Amino acid sequence: MIPKETISSIFEASRIDEVVGEFVSLKKRGANLIGLCPFHNEKTPSFNVSPVKGIYKCFGCGKAGNSVNFIMEHEQLNYPEALRWLAKKYNIEIAEEEQTPEQVIANNERESLYVVCSFAQKNFTETLWETDEGKSVGLSYFHQRGFTDETIHKFQLGYSFDKWRGFSDAAITAGHKLDYLVKAGLTISKESTDPVQPGQEQQPRFFDRFSARIIFPVHNVSGRVIAFGGRTLKTDKKVAKYINSPETDIYSKSKVLYGLYYAKKRIVEEDVCFMVEGYTDVISMHQAGIENVVASSGTALTVDQIRLIRRYTNNITILYDGDNAGIKASFRGIDLVLEEGMNVRVLLFPDGEDPDSFSKKVSSTDFKAFIKENTKDFIAFKAQLLYSESSHDPIKKAGLIKELVESISLIPEPIYRSVYIKECSRIMDVDEQALLSELNKLRRKKQYDTPAQPREEFNAVPEELLTLPDGEKPGRKITETQTEHQERDIIRILLNFSNEKVSIDSETEEGEKEVVEVSVGTLVIHEISGDIEFENPLYRKFFHEFITHEGEELSNDYYIQHPDPQISGTAIEILTTPYQLANWEKHNIPVNTESMMLKQSVLHAVYALKIRKLEKMIHDNQTRLKESSSYEEQIILVTEQQYLIKSKQSFSALLGRIILR
């Protein structure tokens, strides 16, 4: 258990803009920050972060929460794990019993995989630096490649012994289970084919996946080790040069970019991401002072990887080593980048050079200058490359022009498509109108071939909050509750202004009139409690929470950080809005805000709720009147109906409404 005092310290230290900013590129917009939502695919930012309120809200998919909720959702952690993650980030010591490896494994299988991967990284790193074999084989190779000790430590590079199961035995001795070593892809297990004696179980044979290799740990966006790449230093051609971790519960190679953890901050600062091919390319460029670089680690670029980059920048530059065949093979991946609405540029190194080798031959300053001077727009680069290969072959040229227009047709922005069509017309010496006709044909075909997407429906409150923990379930969705809007408005006012003071007319015990100041919370509770019960179970629960703490000056943080997810979820959902009032004062136009007319706003909300309740009572009474066959009962119901209508008219008059019947 984490003490409440420690939880409070974690919440206080965890600034929402800092926590979210590690994973999402945020830009200032008024008092808030916006960015692309990390929880669903979008091209226009709808992810809103409020540093003042300490909350985030996506107005596209509806995800909302505080710093802890964000880490839980993004990193797939439970509540205590998210608190520990933030405590580690902000150097907050948690005074709780330290868990053994066995306890951690029992708690969560995913966490168990993280634990064994972390152990493996430390083991491989210690082997590299502290053993004779590691230093003579692994460390000497890294030094030979020109990597400094500082760089080797930064990327946590390592070495695995040239033994069948040197690492696996060490891990098992340290208390880690073979099952999780296998699931993490660190150990390979095969059933033994040896004969089994009667009464004995068949024993599994197992061995290290990465034995006799230098090791490149792969980190997720938050810096946790999730996989490994291993390179052999042997010259045997039958041995694969590189092997990588298999797919696991914590590692999906199509959704991971090597080096992104180290690059994300600089990508945001430079507003561009450099894409290279392998581990050593990333490491060499970092050592050369260029840190906004990632690698797809030999796999074709995927949509998930592209969207991962787009969280931090809309600009990507692909670095090529000069091999035309490799460049053409990557065109499909770049088409995916264009389709995602990103700006793509390319850089071609001299023949025989790649980012790793070239960075060793020139200074850091010259390397940066070379990138700046030789980077080209991808569409123009592709047009020039294709034209140089087909300028003397009309048939081939026609096919390549069509291929080029197909790439342009993927770009979502019409203005960009128009500019590229003009440029390609000039480079390929083809009539612009012909290119436009082909472009429009491809766009129409794509539109017809794309299946219609089902329309998503979002409730005012997330669906998972509609079931109450005590088993109480609303019969209908919240949007169908008869008094939902009025009840929600009451809760909104209490959240925003509960502690504010308003002046109301009162009477002393002697019957003399006086003006007293009361809090908005007290006024609302006095006007509603005892007479009106909220219909919506969520808002009813929330209102009872206010009643429980009447007289206490609680901040919104109490509700945002409430341990009940229904309370915190409702508070965050209500407190976030996609709109902000413009600064009209700079135009000398005075604007009355709600806080300036607080008493009027509070009473308006209370009276509106009462009118809605009276309308329901009038409707129900009218139904009973129609169904009644007793004359005496009808007289009572008519009298009651007149009283209800008169009450409604009175409240409507207070709101300035005219009721004709």
Q: What is the pLDDT of residues 69-82, one digit of tens each?
A: 888 888 777 788 88
71 with 49, same domain: the answer is yes
**Domain boundary, last residue among 89, 122, 152:** 89
- Residue 503's SS3 state is strand
**Domain boundary, last residue among 69, 89, 109:** 89
460 found inside a domain: no
Considering only residues 103 and 618, tell me which one the structure prediction assigns the higher pLDDT. 618
Is residue 65 very low, low, confident or very high in pLDDT (cuts 50, 70, 90)? confident
Q: Which of 148-152, 234-238, 340-344, 522-526 has the highest mean pLDDT?
A: 148-152
296 with 441, same domain: the answer is yes
Asked if residues 260 and 308 have their Cβ atoms less than 8 Å apart, the reply is: yes
pLDDT surpasses 50 at 43: yes
pLDDT surpasses 50 at 307: yes
151 found inside a domain: yes
Q: Which domain holds residue 583?
A: 482-661
239 with 366, same domain: the answer is no
Q: What is the C-alpha to C-alpha distance for residues 514 and 113, in angstroms, rounded to an integer? A: 69
Question: What does the pLDDT read at residue 480?
Answer: 35
Is residue 424 very low, low, confident or very high in pLDDT (cuts 50, 70, 90)? confident
Q: What is the C-alpha to C-alpha distance for residues 545 and 549, in angstroms, rounded to an integer? A: 7
246 with 265, same domain: the answer is no
pLDDT surpasses 80 at 364: yes
Asked if residues 123 and 187 have their Cβ atoms less than 8 Å apart, the reply is: no
H helices of 16-108, where? 16-21, 67-75, 79-89, 101-107
Length of the chain measured in residues: 661
Question: What does the pLDDT read at residue 465?
Answer: 35
543 found inside a domain: yes
Is residue 323 very low, low, confident or very high in pLDDT (cuts 50, 70, 90)? low
Is residue 522 very low, low, confident or very high in pLDDT (cuts 50, 70, 90)? confident
605 with 659, same domain: the answer is yes
pLDDT surpasses 60 at 8: yes
Considering only residues 103 and 12, tell me which one the structure prediction assigns the higher pLDDT. 12
pLDDT surpasses 60 at 145: yes
- Residue 24's SS3 state is coil
> Can you tell me the mean pLDDT for 566-571?
80
280 with 307, same domain: the answer is yes
Q: What is the C-alpha to C-alpha distance for residues 370 and 290, in angstroms, rounded to an integer? A: 12
244 with 384, same domain: the answer is no
Count of domains observed in the chain: 4
Identify the residue whose tokens are 């809103």: 48
> Can you tell me the mean pLDDT for 72-99?
78
For residue 156, what is the domain's CATH number? 3.90.980.10
> Can you tell me the mean pLDDT for 226-246?
91
> Can you tell me the mean pLDDT for 569-597?
65
654 found inside a domain: yes
For residue 50, what is the domain's CATH number? 3.90.580.10
**Domain boundary, last residue among 89, 110, 125:** 89
Question: What does the pLDDT read at residue 471?
Answer: 42
For all residues of the chain together, what is the average pLDDT?
A: 80
> Can you tell me the mean pLDDT for 321-333?
69
pLDDT tens digit string along 494-503? 888 877 887 7
Is residue 325 very low, low, confident or very high in pLDDT (cuts 50, 70, 90)? low
Considering only residues 304 and 521, tell me which one the structure prediction assigns the higher pLDDT. 304
Question: What does the pLDDT read at residue 294?
Answer: 95
290 found inside a domain: yes
629 with 597, same domain: the answer is yes
For residue 349, what is the domain's CATH number? 3.40.1360.10
Question: What does the pLDDT read at residue 257?
Answer: 93
The residue type of 544 is H
> Can you tell me the mean pLDDT for 265-278?
88
17 found inside a domain: yes
Q: Is 231 left (phi over 0), alpha (psi -120 to 50) or beta?
A: beta
Asked if residues 314 and 343 have their Cβ atoms less than 8 Å apart, the reply is: yes
437 found inside a domain: yes
Task: Collect all residues with Cβ–Cβ distance below 8 Å to 223 and sequence separation of at least 6.
Answer: 261
Of the candidates 325, 292, 331, the one whose C-alpha atom is nearest the C-alpha of residue 309 is 292
pLDDT tens digit string along 484-497? 888 888 888 888 88
198 found inside a domain: no
413 with 538, same domain: the answer is no
Question: What does the pLDDT read at residue 455?
Answer: 39
Question: What does the pLDDT read at residue 162?
Answer: 92
435 with 497, same domain: the answer is no
290 with 354, same domain: the answer is yes
Of the candidates 184, 176, 264, the one whose C-alpha atom is nearest the C-alpha of residue 222 is 264
Q: Is 185 left (phi over 0), alpha (psi -120 to 50) or beta?
A: left
494 with 590, same domain: the answer is yes
